[in-house]
C-alpha cells in the first residue's frame, strides 16, 4: 500500500478550491463555509488519528469504553438538536443509540464476527452509531414537519374522538419510510454503483476482495438493521410528546 506523505496531502487543496471557485462564480456565499469545513474536517481527522493511536495502545476495555462514550455523547447532541422542543429528547436519543450499539456489538461478539479488540470494535461501532444518529435526526425532522403540515387534519381527527396514536398513524408511517428508504436504496445498489467504505479500506490495506466483502456484509446489514430500529424507536417514543395528557395537540 502506497504511503501518502504530508506533501501529497497538500495537493488536496485543489479539490477544495474547485467548489470554492464555483461558489464565488455563482455568488453563493459559501466560500468561507467550504474553507472552514474543509480545514475543520482535516484537523478533526488528524486529532482522532492520534486519539485512536493512544486508545489502541491501552487495555481494550478502557479504549473501547472511552471512545464509545464520546461517540454516543456527540451523536446524541447532534441528533437531539433536531427535536429540542420535545421533552426528554436527549435522554431518549442517548438511550436509543446506546441500546442499538449494545445490541449490535453483542451479536457481533456472540456470533464471533469480530474479536473484542479496539482496532475493530471502535471503527465498526462508529459506523453503527453514526448512521443511527442520522436516522434519528432525520426521523425527528420529518416528524416535526409532518405534524406542522398535518396539524389541521390531526385536530379534526381528535375532535371526532380519535386517539393520538390513531390521529398520528399516517405521520408515523411517513416518517419511518422517509428514514428507511435511503438505506433500502443503498442496499439495492451496494457494490454496483459504489464500493462501500469498509470494503474499499480493506482492499487498499491489502485484504483479498472476498475477505473485504465478508466484513462489508456484516457492516452493511448491521447498519441497515440499526437504522431501521433507531427510526422506529425514536418515532414511536417521541410522537406521543406532540400531545398533552388531555390528548390535545400541543406542538407546532
The residue out of 14, 34, 57 marking a domain boundary is: 57
Q: Taking the complete model, does pTM exceed 0.75, yes or no?
A: yes
Last residue of a domain, one of 15, 30, 57: 57
Residue in this structure with the C-alpha cell 461501532, named with its chain if needed: 125
Instruction: Name the 3-class secondary structure at 215.
Output: helix
Residue 40 within a domain: yes
Structural domain contains residue 251: no
What is the grid cell recorded at 88? Answer: 426528554
Binned at pLDDT 50, 70 and 90, residue 160 comes out as confident
CA angle 217, 55, 224 (to 5 degrees): 20
Buried b / exposed e along 99-113 (16+ C-beta atoms within 10 A): ebbeebbeebeeeeb
User: 248: left (phi > 0), else alpha (psi -120 to 50), else beta?
Assistant: beta
* Residue 247 counted as domain residue: no
pLDDT in tens, 12-59: 999 999 999 999 999 999 999 999 999 999 999 999 999 999 999 999
Residues 26 and 136 in one domain: no
Count up the domains in the chain and report the number.
Answer: 2
What range defines the domain where residue 65 resides? 59-242
Same domain, 136 and 176: yes
Specify the pLDDT at position 184: 85
Report the percentage of the chain scoring pLDDT > 90. 63
Amino acid at each position: 500500500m502506497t504511503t501518502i506523505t504530508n506533501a501529497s496531502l497538500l495537493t488536496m487543496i485543489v479539490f477544495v478550491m474547485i467548489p470554492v471557485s464555483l461558489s464565488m462564480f455563482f455568488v453563493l456565499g459559501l466560500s468561507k463555509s467550504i474553507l472552514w469545513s474543509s480545514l475543520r474536517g482535516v484537523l478533526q481527522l488528524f486529532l482522532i488519528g492520534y486519539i485512536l493511536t493512544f486508545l489502541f495502545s491501552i487495555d481494550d476495555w478502557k479504549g473501547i469504553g472511552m471512545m464509545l462514550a464520546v461517540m454516543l455523547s456527540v451523536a446524541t447532541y447532534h441528533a437531539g438538536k433536531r427535536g429540542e422542543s420535545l421533552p426528554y429528547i436527549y435522554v431518549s436519543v442517548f438511550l436509543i443509540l446506546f441500546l442499538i450499539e449494545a445490541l449490535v456489538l453483542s451479536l457481533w461478539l456472540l456470533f464471533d464476527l469480530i474479536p473484542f479488540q479496539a482496532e475493530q470494535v471502535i471503527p465498526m461501532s462508529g459506523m453503527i452509531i453514526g448512521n443511527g444518529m442520522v436516522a434519528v435526526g432525520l426521523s425527528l425532522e420529518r416528524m416535526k414537519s409532518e405534524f406542522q403540515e398535518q396539524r389541521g387534519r390531526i385536530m379534526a381527527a381528535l375532535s371526532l374522538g380519535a386517539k393520538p396514536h390513531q390521529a398520528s398513524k399516517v405521520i408515523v408511517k411517513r416518517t419511518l419510510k422517509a428514514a428507511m428508504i435511503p438505506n433500502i436504496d443503498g442496499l439495492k445498489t451496494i457494490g454496483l454503483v459504489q464500493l462501500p467504505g469498509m470494503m474499499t479500506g480493506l482492499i487498499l490495506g491489502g485484504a483479498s476482495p472476498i475477505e473485504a466483502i465478508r466484513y462489508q456484509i456484516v457492516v452493511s446489514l448491521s447498519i441497515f438493521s440499526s437504522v431501521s430500529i433507531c427510526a422506529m424507536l425514536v418515532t414511536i417514543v417521541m410522537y406521543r410528546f406532540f400531545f398533552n395528557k388531555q390528548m390535545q395537540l400541543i406542538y407546532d
